[in-house]
Each structure stands twice: as structure tokens, then as C-alpha cells.
Structure 1
């Protein structure tokens, strides 16, 4: 196995994230996840002795970090670059899956838990949303947005992205995501331009 080859555990986690993004959490089983990841069922229980909820939690964190890496890579070029990379990631997932896959973080978040206690996977999803918002908000602040406005705009970006991915799957069209990308880009540009200092007029004018 080469250094870059994923381990059996990593394949199982990635497979679980993919299945949850397509079917939702309740319709994803340990057995089917092992088959999807081409891993022995026994090894799945070995790596995840607490069962499906533990695996789902890891899958959510995996998906969250995958998107966060894209943000960290592109945000140094500015919030618009980060935005386009973030939405471009979900665009590729939706298109490449022929509108069958969405965001596993959202999928876990919207399913009713079996008990009144908040499941670990849902708590992990909340942490992922916080992480994405924090990365976006930090970039917006660095480029001139006021702290409160940066935080609110970051929340809007994440919420709009998640909702639009669901719309694309329902409509079997990527147009909603492309439209939202353009509108959010315009909003970011307008917001940052409002906070840029106006050039001073030449003396005597």
C-alpha cells in the first residue's frame, strides 16, 4: 500500500459519508456501508464498536473537514474565492452523482433522533457548521467587514448553500446553485466595498 492509499477505516468513513449523502442516516446501515466501502463487516464493527452512531459521527466530521480544507486553501485569495470554491465543491458532488448525493452533514441534521437526547452525529454536524461559518467570517473580517456583519453573512452563505443543494437534487437541475453562487458573490463584493475607504480627492479640488 502506498503512503497516499486510504486505510480500511478511512474507506469505511468515506463510504458512510457518501451513503448518508445519498440515502440519509436512517436508511444507511452498517452492513451496506461495509459493502459499499469493500470492507469486511467484522472490521467495520472493530473500528466502530459503538455502532452506527459512532460511524455517522466520524462520517460527518470527515465531510466537514473535507470542505474546510477547500476553504482554507482558497480563502487566502479572499472571501469570493472561498465562496466559489465552497459552492463549487457541492456543485461537483451533485453533478457527479447525477443529483443523487447532497451534503451528509445536512442529512444527519434533519433526521429525527430516536430519543430525546441529541445524538453525537448531530452534535458533530453543529460543530461542522460552526467551523465553516468561522472560516468564512474570519476571511470577511480580514477583508473589511464588520464583525457582526461578517458572522451573519457567513451564516447566510452556509445556510444558502445547504438549502440550494437540496433544491438542486429535487429539481434535477444545477441552476439554483449557480444562481445562488452569483448572488452571494455580488453580496460579498457589495458588503466589502461599503467598508473600503473612499480615495481622498486631490488638494484644491
Structure 2
């Protein structure tokens, strides 16, 4: 009897994608014996306004460049192909309908877990996916409490992701480009080259 395929979902605006995202996904892949990680850029996240200087195509190309040398990382346009506001519950519903033999693992940061009750149909999200949450060391005790609270309230399956913490943010990378600071070692070289070649984040 074959087991269900275990698929990780790494979502985000990826504006731009960086080593923090990649390390988190790689850690999840090995720690939970996943078969594949889907890198899924969001189209129109309800919680974040995207600037106009970077196109959807720019974000897609940067993700593809960042993951191309990793055989178990796959680009997914699942959320980009839908119109309107992006909700995780709709994404998971579509994926499970298309691939009923797959088990989904949703990778998120600690901040997202603290706000998960404000998501659309929280209970359905937690029924359709195992949550893998990454947190900083200074959050560990409060994060454990939040995991326990959400698990008990929603009968959810939430696991702590033991990933090394890289204090890298897309916001800081954009700021560095704008101010002429180095972004080397913060993201893959091909992504940095793409940013400079296309004049992204200078305004």
C-alpha cells in the first residue's frame, strides 16, 4: 500500500525571495520527510499591499531562479492563477480536490500562527493541512503556548520547525537596494543579478 505524497507549501509575496525562505523550506523537507515543496507566490494577499514597481512576473522569475537547482523545490502558480483576494482556505481546497492522494504541510512563521484565527475559515485550513511553524528562540515559550491553544481549540496538527534562524527580511533587502548597500549573501546570486538587471527596488 503506497503512502500519500507529503507536499510542503511555502507561500509568500517573495518580494524578493531570499535565503531565509529557502532555508525554512529545506529544513521542513528534511525534518518531516516531505516529497516536495511548492513555492507559491501570492497574487493579492488580503493582509499586505504590494508596491507597483515590481510586477507579478518579476516575483515569479525571482522564485524560479532561486529554486532551479533544487530538485525537490517546485514553482506553483496556484494562487497567481486566481482572480481577487488570495485566501489560504481556497488554495488548500483547490489543491486537495486536484490531488486527493496528497497530504499538505503548510509552512509559516510564528507571526502567522499568532494571527491565524483572523484568517478566513481558520478551522477548515487546520483540517486540510498540517501546520509547520518556525519561530525565533526568544518566542519559544509563548509559541509553545500558542501551538497548544490552537491545537486544542481546533483539533489541529501543528509542529515546530527546528530551522536555524536567519534574520533576513525582504523589506530590508528592498531598503538596501534603494540605499545602495550590499545584498550579497542575503539571497541567491541569480536573484540579486535579476534585481540589478531589471532595476527593481530603486524607487
Give the alignment's TM-score, normalised by structure 1.
Answer: 0.29
User: Which has the bigger relative contact order, CA under 8 A and spacing at least 6?
Assistant: 2
Structure with greater Cα Rg: 1
* Larger fraction in strand: 2
* Larger fraction in helix: 1
Give the alignment's TM-score, normalised by structure 2.
Answer: 0.29
